């Protein structure tokens, strides 16, 4: 198995048969930088950009690269009913809404004057992605989605509109998972099922952030990592668990380096799952490398990470009263020690003169006499676990505190190896009783 990648100088292949002992990159061609690739009949068919002076072609490890003069140029490609389909997309100033296809079972023969179909030409949008879904070619544009299918003769195929408002943000923003399809459109993620779009992040609005590079080099993307949908929303990473339907957020100082992930094919079920991503445009030359992600829990490739779970804020159904927390606990599995924090939420915090002595007038000028500045009244606890055998435990935290609203945070540090992982938190439990109705006008 080979990993095929392109940069500004050409298109290259890497033997990925053994990911722990990768060989050297092999040059496929320096005549163009491939924008898309499909595999058919033990060959990789590489697509050249519409702006390329040279055509695409086919490549095989033993026979090398063969240019195909008549192959259509484009930015996205797929295989459907033994034909190769290519769309020009945004870089094509003439045929941005046209999809060309090859002769059946012959990707070296193209008849561009007759073998094509248009997807709503003249709507001022471009075809960004072709993807096979439910025996149909789904055609994604910036703000619309279409479906194309045929029985035996593509000339008699039909293009039908799926949605005239939802498309994808760019070529890397559509991905399948089982019998579902997920897309990133503007600042939302949708699930396509039975040709209906359902908003997935309705309760998790994505934050726009461009902190590590120019906007032109930072594009959103979707990846499926095991049972997780990774949403790279500019410089923020949101992760949707496809089994539980729960959103989390990942953060890393190197998030601006990589783009979307591809799964490395496995030869049998005993091999570990592995995913690989290239780098974004114009990253520093020292960071132009592959980024790997593994699901295997072993003693190889340790990388320290911090896992944090923060609950929503609870008023326990009585926002008008103060409550007393007698104790709270966490049902978990962990080999490493964790930090447990209680966050009471109050409008006014008592400030002492000793605390004020640490600040200048300029530092507290935004405050008032009643509330000169904000201080933390969080309560933090820790406990030595020593759980060598990965037993499931309940940690009881005997902290008594008075509050009106409250939330909880549990934090663990692990390096992803068998010595400190896994870290799993199943539930939080609290023992609370009402204490007093709020006495002031504002509390």
Closest C-alpha to 393, from 402, 401, 384, 406: 384
Residues of the chain with pLDDT under 50: none
- 432: alpha, beta or left, given left = phi > 0 and alpha = psi -120 to 50? beta
3-state secondary structure of 156: helix
Contact between 221 and 173 under an 8 Å Cβ cutoff? The reply is yes
Encoded tokens for 319: 């926002």
Q: Which two tokens stand for residue 371?
A: 């509330």
Q: State the burial class of residue 268 (Cβ atoms within 10 Å of its Cβ: 0-12, 13-18, 19+).
A: exposed
Stretch (H or E) spanning 355: helix 353-356
Instruction: Tell me which CATH homologous superfamily contains domain 2-302.
Output: YVTN repeat-like/Quinoprotein amine dehydrogenase (2.130.10.10)
**What is the structure's pLDDT at 273?**
84
Q: What are phi and psi of 156, to 5 degrees?
A: -100, 15
**At residue 355, what are phi and psi to the nearest 5 degrees?**
-70, -40
Q: Which residues contact 407 (CB under 8 A, 6 or more apart)?
A: 310, 311, 312, 313, 314, 343, 345
Domain limits, CATH 2.130.10.10, in the chain: 2-302
pLDDT at 12: 95
d(CA 25, CA 170): 28
Which whole-number Å values give the CA distances from 109 to 31, 57, 411, in the listed order?
A: 20, 11, 59
CA distance 56 to 35: 10
The Cα–Cα gap between 219 and 128 comes to: 14
Which residue is associated with the tokens 């930088």?
33
Q: Give the pLDDT confidence score for residue 98 in this predicted structure.
A: 95
Q: What DSSP line would sit under 199-242, residue for residue?
A: ES-TTSPPPP---SS-GGG---EEEEETTEEEEEETTEEEEEET
Distance (Å, rounded) from C-alpha 206 to C-alpha 101? 37
Classify domain 308-437 at the CATH topology level: Jelly Rolls (2.60.120)
pLDDT of residue 68: 98
> Which residues are registered as beta bridge partners of 307?
412
């Amino acid at each position: 198995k080979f990993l095929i990648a392109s940069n500004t100088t050409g298109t290259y292949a890497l033997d990925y048969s053994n990911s722990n002992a990768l060989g050297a990159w092999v040059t496929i061609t320096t005549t163009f930088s491939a924008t898309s690739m499909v595999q058919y009949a033990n060959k990789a068919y590489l697509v050249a950009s519409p702006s390329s002076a040279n055509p695409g072609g086919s490549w095989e490890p033993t026979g090398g690269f063969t240019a195909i003069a008549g192959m259509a140029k484009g930015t996205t490609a797929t295989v459907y009913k033994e034909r190769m389909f290519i769309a020009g997309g945004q870089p094509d100033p003439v045929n941005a809404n046209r999809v060309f296809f090859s002769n059946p079972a012959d990707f070296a023969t193209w008849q561009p004057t007759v073998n094509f179909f248009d997807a709503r030409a003249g709507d001022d949008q471009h075809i960004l992605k072709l993807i096979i879904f439910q025996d149909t070619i789904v055609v994604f544009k910036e703000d619309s989605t279409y479906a194309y299918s045929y029985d035996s003769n593509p000339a008699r195929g039909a293009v039908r509109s799926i949605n005239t408002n939802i498309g994808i943000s760019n070529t890397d923003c559509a991905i399948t998972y089982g019998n579902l399809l997920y897309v990133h459109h503007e600042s939302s993620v949708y699930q396509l099922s039975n040709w209906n779009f359902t908003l997935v992040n309705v309760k998790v609005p994505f934050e726009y952030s461009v902190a590590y590079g120019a906007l032109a080099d930072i594009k959103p993307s979707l990846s499926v990592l095991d049972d997780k949908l990774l949403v790279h929303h500019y410089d923020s990473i949101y992760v949707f668990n496809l089994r539980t339907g729960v959103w989390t957020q990942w953060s890393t100082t190197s998030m601006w380096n990589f783009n979307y992930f591809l799964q490395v094919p496995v030869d049998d079920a005993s091999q570990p799952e592995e995913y690989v991503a290239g780098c974004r445009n114009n990253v520093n030359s020292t960071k132009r490398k592959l980024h790997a992600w593994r699901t295997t829990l072993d003693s190889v490739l340790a990388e320290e990470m911090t896992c944090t779970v923060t609950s929503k804020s609870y008023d326990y159904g009585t926002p008008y009263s103060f409550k007393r927390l007698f104790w709270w606990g966490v049902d978990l599995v962990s080999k490493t020690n964790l930090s447990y924090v209680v966050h009471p939420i109050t409008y006014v915090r008592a400030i002492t003169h000793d605390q004020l002595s640490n600040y200048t007038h300029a530092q507290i000028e935004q405050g008032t006499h009643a509330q000169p500045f904000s201080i933390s009244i969080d309560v933090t606890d820790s406990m030595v676990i020593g759980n060598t055998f990965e037993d499931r435990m309940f940690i009881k935290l005997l902290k008594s505190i008075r509050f009106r609203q409250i939330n909880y945070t549990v934090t663990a540090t692990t390096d992803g190896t068998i010595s400190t992982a896994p870290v799993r938190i199943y539930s939080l439990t609290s023992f609370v009783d009402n204490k007093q109705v709020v006495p002031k006008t504002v509390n």
